[in-house]
Chain A
Amino acid sequence: MTYDVIIIGGGPAGLAAAVSARENGAQDILILEREKELGGILNQCIHNGFGLHTFQEELTGPEYAARFIDQVRERNIPYLLSTTVIGLTQSEEGVQVTAVSRENGLMVYSAKAAVLAMGCRERPRGALNIPGTRPAGIFSAGTAQRLVNLEGYLPGREVVILGSGDIGLIMARRMTLEGAKVKCVAEIQPFSGGLKRNIVQCLDDYGIPLKLSHTVVDIRGKERVEGVTIAQVDEHFKPIPGTEEDYACDTLLLSVGLIPENELSREIGVELSPVTNGPKVNESLETNIPGVFACGNVLHVHDLVDYVSEEAAQAGKNAAKYSANAPARGEEIPVETDGAVRYTVPSRICPQRMEEDLVLRFRVGKNMRNAYVCVAVDGKQVLRRKRPVMAPGEMEQVKLKKEDLQGAKSIRVCTEEA
């Protein structure tokens, strides 16, 4: 049989895409999830703060996931767990998905449309070039989170955290609550990429120092981490001699960024953005491969799960429409960026195919106050919105109107300083 829509990944993006695909007429849907449960990374994010936009209440990660898992079950949308997709290729029907599981062995599915919802993974230590030995006791913050929250295992007693991403901040609090001593969080940038509320409620509440413009310059220990050296860095991120401080610790956590997981996307020939490391998509969240859509953290790393769900619902809807009647692709206009705008999703827009309103999401490259977000079509400004504050850690969005883009030859999104 040929599925209408196959969804790769059963986390927040895959779940919302599946529900929306069904709501928009797709009958035969299949979700493929490599873990033992649906819900993705939300299962280990046991802290609260999820869902304020979607449900107007503050939920924990597993509670937020459960709301969408219930919706999938109510609609009897089939899913396979402990099933890893290992291949994705184009076929006559659309796409061919190769998956393996312990129970079923090798399986090959065909579908008219596919939604990429594989999420992201953490940047590993190897990508960081920290000198020193390679003892046990160095974890990514997300690995530590999994060990503590799902496996009931505290990976260390005396902890230093490198990087002030939100997962690192959350883990500083979590390990403190479990009785570990978190000595400091070192951040190489002069500002934190984490949310303000996390700095206050995860560090300030527990007296954990945040050392901005600092990095780890040495790791000591042979079998197990025994200590690290932290130094201040100059504006070129070079350590400043004489600023070194030694910290005795048995654990170093790394919270230094997330990378969308796009091996499968590459295999099928999806064009990736060098800025987001995620697929380049058009207004329908469709990649350059017809019938292959992307959403959530595999597309670009989000700050709030609410936006993942919104975006995934769009991708699911468009995949359902495509599977019913693959629409002709019109001319797509690239979205140019300027000022502090690092990228936009989508990065191409077909004005004929877009809906009345289109949410364009982006991130800025620096902290800005009282700046403006501007959109120009063919050199003429169609939108100018004031933003009291913009930060690299927080996703921005503007709504484009179909009427503004008719007959457009170029679209440009930029920031203007006050």
Chain B
Amino acid sequence: MPTIELTCISCPLGCPLKVETDQDGKVLGVTGNTCKRGEDYGRKEVSAPTRTVTSTVKILGAAAPVIAVRTKTDIPKNKIFACMDEIRKACVKAPIHIGDVILADIAGTGVPLVATANAEKSA
């Protein structure tokens, strides 16, 4: 049976986890954890891992050439690079403010890409 080894990041202890799955990737059990949070982390990390992606997109008409952005919530981990492809193509015009939606649905995840910094129109 396949076993996946992980480091738990739920707290600074960093327990070494072993997550056992069946042939289809279904989680059978988690060992090595010292609390419930470790088990939950192990299960989620193996079955449906997610991450917040932070990056920058090009901006025109502002003092700086780029503006910081994030996915508003976590997205599936296997969508990170698809997400980056769209981020790289995106371009916005100043002014942009924190929370402004840059892309409504990034990489088909249903999650919007939002600005995390302010950029006023440069004189």
Question: Which residues of A are at the interface with B, using a C-beta cutoff of 8 A?
Answer: 36, 43, 46-48, 58-60, 62-63, 66, 148-152, 174, 177-178, 195-197, 199-201, 204-205, 388-389, 391, 394
Report B15 CB to chain A, min CB distance, Å.
10
Chain B, residues 1-32, CB within 8 Å of chain A (1/0): the string is 00000110100111000000000000000000
Most buried by A among B6, B51, B56, B77: B56
> B118, A46: Cβ atoms under 8 Å?
no
| Cβ–Cβ < 8 Å partners of B58 in chain A | 152
Does residue B116 face the partner (Cβ distance < 8 Å to A)? yes
| Cβ–Cβ < 8 Å partners of A46 in chain B | 54-56, 68, 70, 116-117
CA A46 to CA B80, docked complex, whole Å: 16
| Cβ–Cβ < 8 Å partners of B80 in chain A | 177
> B98, A152: Cβ atoms under 8 Å?
no
> B118, A66: Cβ atoms under 8 Å?
yes
Does residue B84 face the partner (Cβ distance < 8 Å to A)? yes
> B66, A152: Cβ atoms under 8 Å?
yes
> A177, B84: Cβ atoms under 8 Å?
yes
Q: Which of A58, A151, A178 contacts B52 (CB 8 A)?
A: A58
Since A62-B117, A196-B9 are in contact, a sample of 17 more A-B pairs with Cβ atoms closer than 8 Å, ordered by chain A residue number, is A46-B55, A46-B116, A62-B68, A63-B98, A66-B117, A66-B118, A148-B56, A150-B64, A151-B66, A152-B65, A177-B81, A197-B9, A200-B9, A389-B12, A389-B13, A389-B14, A391-B12
| Cβ–Cβ < 8 Å partners of B55 in chain A | 46, 174, 177-178
CA A165 to CA B70, docked complex, whole Å: 23
| Cβ–Cβ < 8 Å partners of A174 in chain B | 55
> A394, B12: Cβ atoms under 8 Å?
yes
> A60, B7: Cβ atoms under 8 Å?
no
Interface residues of B in 49-107 (CB under 8 A from A): 51-56, 58, 63-66, 68, 70, 77, 80-81, 84, 98
Report B79 CB to chain A, min CB distance, Å.
13
CA A62 to CA B14, docked complex, whole Å: 28
Residue of B nearest to A196 (CB): B14
Total interface residues on B, CB under 8 Å, equals: 27
Residue of B nearest to A201 (CB): B51
| Cβ–Cβ < 8 Å partners of B52 in chain A | 48, 58
> A60, B70: Cβ atoms under 8 Å?
yes
> A62, B98: Cβ atoms under 8 Å?
yes
> B7, A200: Cβ atoms under 8 Å?
yes
Report B7 CB to chain A, min CB distance, Å.
5
| Cβ–Cβ < 8 Å partners of A58 in chain B | 52
Question: Which residues of B are at the interface with A, using a C-beta cutoff of 8 A?
Answer: 6-7, 9, 12-14, 51-56, 58, 63-66, 68, 70, 77, 80-81, 84, 98, 116-118
| Cβ–Cβ < 8 Å partners of B64 in chain A | 150-152
| Cβ–Cβ < 8 Å partners of B53 in chain A | 177
> A205, B77: Cβ atoms under 8 Å?
yes
Sample (29) of A-B pairs whose CB atoms are under 8 Å apart: A36-B63, A43-B117, A46-B56, A48-B54, A59-B116, A60-B54, A62-B116, A62-B117, A63-B98, A63-B117, A66-B118, A148-B56, A149-B66, A150-B66, A151-B65, A152-B58, A152-B64, A174-B55, A177-B80, A177-B84, A178-B55, A196-B7, A197-B9, A200-B6, A200-B7, A388-B13, A389-B13, A389-B14, A394-B12
Residue of B nearest to A198 (CB): B9
| Cβ–Cβ < 8 Å partners of B65 in chain A | 151-152
| Cβ–Cβ < 8 Å partners of A62 in chain B | 68, 98, 116-118
**4 tightest Cβ-Cβ pairs between the two chains A and B:** A152-B66, A152-B65, A62-B117, A46-B68
Most buried by A among B7, B12, B55, B117: B117
| Cβ–Cβ < 8 Å partners of A66 in chain B | 98, 117-118
Residue of A nearest to B71 (CB): A48
Report A182 CB to chain B, min CB distance, Å.
15
Residue of A nearest to B9 (CB): A197
Report A192 CB to chain B, min CB distance, Å.
11
Report A136 CB to chain B, min CB distance, Å.
21
CA A177 to CA B52, docked complex, whole Å: 13
CA A174 to CA B80, docked complex, whole Å: 12
CA A148 to CA B14, docked complex, whole Å: 30
Report B63 CB to chain A, min CB distance, Å.
8
